[in-house]
Structure 1
């Protein structure tokens, strides 16, 4: 496993709960690495992935490191003959994403990207209803995901916020349409003293005519109800909404709902139980479903149909175009840099 921060440690736990053996860990933070390895009882550790791979021969490498390292570490693992699970984003450019895809094809190995929203129950249901013809022809999508202001101050500008927040909904839009984005128009606003944009609004135009609006604002105040609960409880809120507009109907989803509300002496909690709820000592929800899917793909039990690598590359291209549109202050055409896959541009 490459990367043992807060989310990396959670990944290690879930993979073990699903029967995988964690044979080695690596991280650039030696103290954190020692703490996690000690807690998990993992003897083989290293400060970098090539050194770790020289000592162990894993079947799978799980990449949960800083975003800028994802593509290189994934290619390193593929060239060592490993399957790879890599957290989102797969890469920070379309060119790097397609480089990963090419490396996977050359190595004959699978890459599963950690686009967890594809496994969250509400979005799964929405996609099933759409694909089953329940709302007719898809016309448009509206996607919004707002985060706590305190999160932006602590990690939201580690990379461009589009790669932290918008990438979730860009990937959902690609998942719903099954097509690449052709054109992007984006605008942004900065809160006081922010060097990176904390508010982003983008219009995505897909091949085939579907449009999607993707919005994100890292401005939810501390007074808002906390929403994250389970094995990775963070103080703060994610306030998300999704609408799928069809010719014969509309699907709507809200993350903050009142089906379960907790009022305590420390404040109000409207817990989302879809991501990684903890029950009877094990982690469930979308994270468990995502890891179980990856294991089945790596073992050849099922095709890589829930998170096709081609669609993940399309999402990275679209996110890169959003960043480019913000920088240019103008619409951006998304270049076709992938293999000949019938994109029809």
Structure 2
């Protein structure tokens, strides 16, 4: 593949449209857009000057081949769209989660291997600078023998009301920290036990707490609560993807030789204005000198390099994304039954 890979974006909601922008800014050529909403499709195509659009990915790729497909559609469609892209000869960038079942994750991996294509899962937290440093320091022995991980990510309660039941919250919020725990250990999870609460409503569990036992002995706790009140300082209120609300989280690694702690929201920058208080997130997708930067830009740049053969898929190995799917699936099962669940990680 030459410089400036051609890209089709499948799913052009708010995040898909942001992907179209960031891939262009990273040097890719967006040659096609796919979505089931014709109005949204026309709007984003006009904004990004893309001529080829379709409701069906296979149909579009038949007339407009692409080096890569960015899958940014609803979670339930990720596996089928990824396989469609791979079978058409394209690499695939798949927003998190890679799939909603271990079977589908393995189907993606098997198709990628058979077609000789690369798959990058969109676990953006791996590319946030603080998390990347935390991973590097753990790998470099800064905490000695790693023993325990504690990861927490809380969302605004208003988000639960608007989209909290679109997909099980384990796949929406916990999957980020499942993936971080896997990246910090480099090992698959062997057993999970989880509990939940419907504190914010009955549509889906709004509070989840899970205990993970890793191959090798590390223990991790994963917690998520969609209970941050409306009065909390906003973290994503402006920028290229404005969300009215907050994501609040922490990550902690404890070893025999040290401890590393990281807060998702830092009070190093606080804004008090007539509209309230904000603690702007500067790590995910801040706008810098007119382009999108931060973790999203690094993630897309990494994917471009992997797809063009300039680097190995070392930061986000497909195998580890499959481990994350197997772990999330086991947590959902444990939440349903209340029992511990053994995890059979894909090879």
Q: Which residue of 1 aligns with 2:231?
A: 223
Paired with 1:31 and 1:122, the residues of 2 have a C-alpha distance of: 39
Partner of residue 265 from structure 2, selected from 256, 263, 272? 256
CA apart distance, 1:41: 0.7
Paired with 1:155 and 1:186, the residues of 2 have a C-alpha distance of: 22
Partner of residue 123 from structure 1, selected from 126, 131, 137? 131
- Per-residue CA deviations over 1:148-202 (Å, capped at 9, x if unaligned) read 0111111121010000000000000000000100000000000254221000000
CA apart distance, 1:129: 0.7
Aligned to 1:24, what secondary structure does the other structure show?
strand
Paired with 1:136 and 1:231, the residues of 2 have a C-alpha distance of: 39
Q: Which residue of 2 aligns with 1:342?
A: none
Q: Which residue of 1 aligns with 2:5?
A: none
Q: Which residue of 1 aligns with 2:217?
A: 209
Does residue 297 in structure 1 map to residue 306 in structure 2?
A: yes
Aligned to 2:248, what secondary structure does the other structure show?
strand
Aligned to 1:212, what secondary structure does the other structure show?
strand
Aligned to 2:181, what secondary structure does the other structure show?
helix
CA apart distance, 1:78: 0.3
Q: Which residue of 1 aligns with 2:10?
A: 2
Q: Which residue of 1 aligns with 2:283?
A: 274
Paired with 1:54 and 1:222, the residues of 2 have a C-alpha distance of: 47
Deviates more, 1:73-82 or 1:189-198: 189-198
- Per-residue CA deviations over 1:95-132 (Å, capped at 9, x if unaligned) read 11111111100000000000000000110110111111
- Per-residue CA deviations over 1:266-325 (Å, capped at 9, x if unaligned) read 010001100001011100000000000000000000000000000010011000000000
Aligned to 1:22, what secondary structure does the other structure show?
strand
Partner of residue 238 from structure 1, selected from 218, 240, 247? 247
Paired with 1:246 and 1:118, the residues of 2 have a C-alpha distance of: 20
8 Å CA contact retained: 1:230, 1:273:
no
Q: Which residue of 2 aligns with 1:109?
A: 117
Q: TM-score scaled by structure 1?
A: 0.97
Counterparts of residues 12-31 of structure 1 (less than 5 Å): 12-31=20-39
Partner of residue 71 from structure 1, selected from 75, 79, 83? 79
Does residue 331 in structure 1 map to residue 331 in structure 2?
A: no
Paired with 2:176 and 2:202, the residues of 1 have a C-alpha distance of: 22
Q: Which residue of 2 aligns with 1:169?
A: 177
Q: TM-score scaled by structure 2?
A: 0.96
Q: Which residue of 2 aligns with 1:87?
A: 95
Does residue 33 in structure 1 map to residue 21 in structure 2?
A: no
Q: Which residue of 1 aligns with 2:65?
A: 57
Would the alpha carbon gap of residues 152 and 102 (structure 1) be closer, same or farther in structure 2, given more than 3 Å must change?
same
Aligned to 2:125, what secondary structure does the other structure show?
helix
Aligned Cα root-mean-square deviation (Å):
0.8
Paired with 1:255 and 1:300, the residues of 2 have a C-alpha distance of: 32
Runs of 4+ in 1 over 2 A off after TM superposition: none
CA apart distance, 1:48: 1.4
Counterparts of residues 181-220 of structure 1 (less than 5 Å): 181-191=189-199, 193-220=201-228
Partner of residue 312 from structure 1, selected from 309, 312, 321? 321
Paired with 2:239 and 2:217, the residues of 1 have a C-alpha distance of: 39
Structure 2 gaps, min length 5: 1-8
Structure 1 gaps, min length 5: 340-345
8 Å CA contact retained: 1:3, 1:25:
yes
Paired with 2:38 and 2:90, the residues of 1 have a C-alpha distance of: 24
Q: Which residue of 2 aligns with 1:343?
A: none
